[in-house]
Structure 1
């Protein structure tokens, strides 16, 4: 099978991913083999490739937003059958026994395994995944549309929940890439008023098209106090102004797996008034199930740009530069 492999972390400008021919993996007990149709390109992949996340299991096939067809079942698989269309997301394994796993917080499991980081991922024609971590894909979505829902969508959905935002309230979004452009569609479905801060003019235009009531640059303050906000951009310098823009009792959710240093906070100006700051750490399987169900009911329409598998380096370079709107997907054909 063809696969894009990372042997050594490096800046994406050096084209560190290389195309390699590898054997098709065999599913072990409890696993399924998936013939991948498309795999989304995520900022987390960029953090993996550039070495901003520690202890990458090199060499590794990145990618964790894969959609494809189940081709083979390992032993002891009962709820999935050959021919099913499934998605492979970031979380691929947990211990199932710790206090986090047994209290509905498996995303915090200290023994969790992650796709395209600790086990091979979706930048390939085939991948294996534990059947209990494979998501059935609603028929309403094409492969391209389903792919970004598997991380950008799930993380955006979890971040919305952690922000405490309620229907009809004012929500701030900082950064407007793949995750934010899905989150705004959910928030608008909830009748929230959405305020978007983004550096890129084209991203601001997309936010307007998707129903933002206000758009501005990253240094501009929204005209109204916000009930909740989410920072998607990996920019720690956004935290103080985002807290400042919250109304008393508001919550700021930090949705990135990596963030640059956060400047000092002024207690009276930035925090006082029971403002809350929370991080978003991965997702639970229930988050994915809930998101896919709600996304199909709305329905969410992700904006996608296609790249062939062998151009994964270019796709990540354009992601880093913010050169496209919405989400990018790698195609295997």
Structure 2
């Protein structure tokens, strides 16, 4: 163990690392990401230095890269589904010593003092900050994270299979909670990528009857393999009225489609951070009879802990397509084009 300015670090940590940065946001086809070498970051007093073992590829990374989300940090390193080994600790960092395995998720900081934080809704904190948007994330060989926002993971956890749980899984879990699915209820899922196929498994383990509606044929096959009662096109009607629905596809045109599929008192939860414009709604057709439309904003750390525990109990499995870190831009292109089912994961050192 050696000591650098204000923090302890493992001997093998190098001075520079490979990473990807968003050079100029734009369509992923224009290749807005740029491969770079950067100094290995130094953790702050309350932060961990983490050697990245796997980083999930999330649709939010695509929104950051393409400029759907406003630039918060120029030339940011994307990535917020990180599993890694702690190789350095700031002087005040607690709970994850060097050598431990941790997960880094989207939520990176909240103030802890506003009315939202004080009532347990830190996901709504006006001063919240996010990994891979406000601060550099996991499309790199090393990253940092506040120790208080990292999840301690079992030593034997599989990095590739765990990484997508840290955003896709957590956000899908919060979306499922917001959808207020009754016990044994009928759930519709619109879009069936990384987040949806994890939330679906939790719902099925709770006894739900699942109907998946997505344009992708491979995703429909995966849904049926996981236990869905039906899998149809995104604009089709499910075979029965729904108690709850979750919209994972960032397509505003699907909001009235999903609302019209709800039974009386049904709830539609919109899981994405970005959504294309929603067409006009007809009150009688889409909202009357106490149908509800609810958004989802980030997550709390309590959501993360609850999901990881439930996912372990339910035996949630992740369908993973692995890419070397050097193919990060291609992974985002494939995500946008729907070329894989489930989730993609970047693996440093696999080039």
TM-score of the superposed pair, with normalisation by structure 1: 0.99
Shift of 1:308: 0.8
1:274 corresponds to 2:290:
yes
Q: Could you say what secondary structure the match of 2:276 adopts?
A: coil
Contact 1:140 1:296 in 2 (8 A): no
Match for residue 32 of structure 1 among 30, 43, 48: 48
- Provide the residue aligned with 1:18 in structure 2: 34
Q: 52-61 or 67-76: which moved more?
A: 52-61
1:232 corresponds to 2:232:
no
- Structure 1: gaps spanning 5 or more residues: none
Shift of 1:138: 3.5
1:121 corresponds to 2:141:
no
Say which structure, 1 or 2, has more relative contact order (CA 8 Å, 6+ apart).
1
Deviations 1:179-206 (A, max 9, x none): 0110111011001000000001111000
Match for residue 90 of structure 1 among 106, 129, 141: 106
Shift of 1:54: 1.4
Shift of 1:139: 4.9
Contact 1:137 1:146 in 2 (8 A): no
Matches within 5 A, 1:49-68: 49-68=65-84
Deviations 1:38-80 (A, max 9, x none): 1000000000000001133111100000100001110112222
- Greater than 6 Å deviation, 4+ residue runs: none
Distance 2:314 2:234 in 1: 29
- Provide the residue aligned with 2:345 in structure 1: 329
Q: Could you say what secondary structure the match of 1:247 adopts?
A: strand
Shift of 1:296: 1.1
Q: Could you say what secondary structure the match of 2:113 adopts?
A: coil
Q: 131-140 or 15-24: which moved more?
A: 131-140
Matches within 5 A, 1:124-203: 124-139=140-155, 141-203=157-219
Distance 1:16 1:6 in 2: 6
Q: 61-70 or 293-302: which moved more?
A: 293-302
Q: Could you say what secondary structure the match of 2:307 adopts?
A: helix
Match for residue 210 of structure 1 among 217, 223, 226: 226
Q: Could you say what secondary structure the match of 1:96 adopts?
A: coil
Distance 1:8 1:44 in 2: 16
Q: Could you say what secondary structure the match of 2:39 adopts?
A: coil
1:71 corresponds to 2:72:
no
Distance 1:180 1:55 in 2: 27
Distance 2:245 2:94 in 1: 41
Distance 2:94 2:159 in 1: 24
Q: 50-59 or 157-166: which moved more?
A: 50-59
How many residue pairs end up in the alignment?
333
Distance 2:347 2:221 in 1: 27
- Provide the residue aligned with 2:22 in structure 1: 6
Deviations 1:71-111 (A, max 9, x none): 11101122221111001100000111001111111111111
- Structure 2: gaps spanning 5 or more residues: 1-16
**Pair 157,271 (structure 1): closer, same or farther in 2 beyond 3 Å:** same
Contact 2:193 2:341 in 1 (8 A): yes
Distance 1:6 1:266 in 2: 40
Q: Could you say what secondary structure the match of 2:253 adopts?
A: helix
Distance 2:154 2:293 in 1: 34
Distance 2:266 2:170 in 1: 22
